[in-house]
Amino acid sequence: MKFLCLAYPGRGFSPGPDLVAKYAAPARPCGRRGVFVDRRQLSPGDASALVRVTDGQADAGHGPPPGSGPQPSAHFVIDCPDLRAALGWAARIPAASYSTAEVRPHEGQDHARLHCLPHRHP
C-alpha cells in the first residue's frame, strides 16, 4: 500500500544547518528495504497557487487557503504492507520528533488493512 507522509514544522521552528541531511536520512533505510518511493521538500505555503472554478470560469489566487492552519514542509511517499508499518517508517521523519508527521493512504487501496491500530480512549 502506498502512503503519503507529510512533515509539519512546529510553530517557531528554526531549521538548523543539518536539516537537509536529517530529512535525507530516512530515505536510505527505506530504499534498502524497498519501502521508499519519493521524497521532496515543499515550497512555503505562501508560494502556492490556488485555483477555483465557478460557473466554468477558473479563478487563480496566491497563498494557502484562508484558515488552513499549519502547512507541510516536506513529503515522503512510502510503500508498506499496512498502516502500522507506515507509521513505523513515518516515526523516522525528523518532524515527528519536534512536531508532527501525518500519514495518509493513497485512495483506492484495501482500507481493511488500515484499521490495524487499537483505538485510544481518553
- The pTM assigned to this predicted structure is 0.70
Tell me: domain 2-43+71-114, CATH 3.30.70.1060, correct? yes
Tell me how far apart the alpha carbons of residues 73 and 115 are, in angstroms, rounded to a whole number. 27
The sign one gets for the Cα dihedral 58, 62, 63, 65 is negative
Tens digits of residue pLDDT in 42-84: 888 788 888 889 999 988 888 777 777 788 888 889 999 999 9
**Which segments of the chain does DSSP mark as H helices, in order?**
19-24, 27-32, 83-90, 95-98
Percent of the residues in the chain that have a pLDDT greater than 90, as a whole number? 13
The full set of domain ranges for the chain reads: 2-43+71-114
Query: How would you classify the pairing of strands 2-8 and 100-105?
Result: antiparallel
